Amino acid sequence: MSNQSVQTVSTSNDKIKVALAIVAAIAGVVGFYYLADKPALARAGVLVAGLAIAAVILWTSTTGREFLNFAKESVRETKKVVWPSRREATQITGIVFVFVLVMALFLWGTDKTLEFLLYDVILGIRK
């Protein structure tokens, strides 16, 4: 069985579309800040328009459609996850807190023991 790597080939047309989508998104953000003295509705409209134009341009490219399919598959896979119940989540959280507390006490005790051995017993610095 041979494993062959698959390379996606994007045309220069798709690259131009992605670049235009990025420019449109940046233009929307820049317009939002450029119109700082205008009403909030106008600023939000410019931002939303820039992002919407970017989304439409990106959707027409192969890369954009692949990303959209990836996002849909991600949502579908997330729905398959079996989430813990509230009781299970509370129990797991309690176990983590207890473990952290025990580990903190262990490290504190180890630190104090080494401090005592080093400064009091070996070096005799403390009075």
Q: How many other C-beta atoms lie within 10 A of the C-beta of residue 11?
A: 10
The Cα–Cα gap between 35 and 41 comes to 11
Task: Judge contact between 15 and 1, C-beta under 8 A.
Answer: no
Print pLDDT tens along the chain (127 aa).
556 665 555 678 888 988 999 999 999 999 999 998 999 999 999 999 999 999 999 888 888 888 889 999 999 999 999 989 999 999 999 999 999 999 999 999 999 999 999 988 888 776 5
Whole-number pLDDT of residue 10:
62
Q: Which long-range contacts (CB under 8 A, 24 or more apart) does 7-16 make?
A: 8/62, 8/66, 10/62, 10/63, 11/62, 13/61, 14/61, 14/62, 14/63
The Cα–Cα gap between 22 and 61 comes to 13
Task: Judge contact between 70 and 38, C-beta under 8 A.
Answer: no
Whole-number pLDDT of residue 4:
64
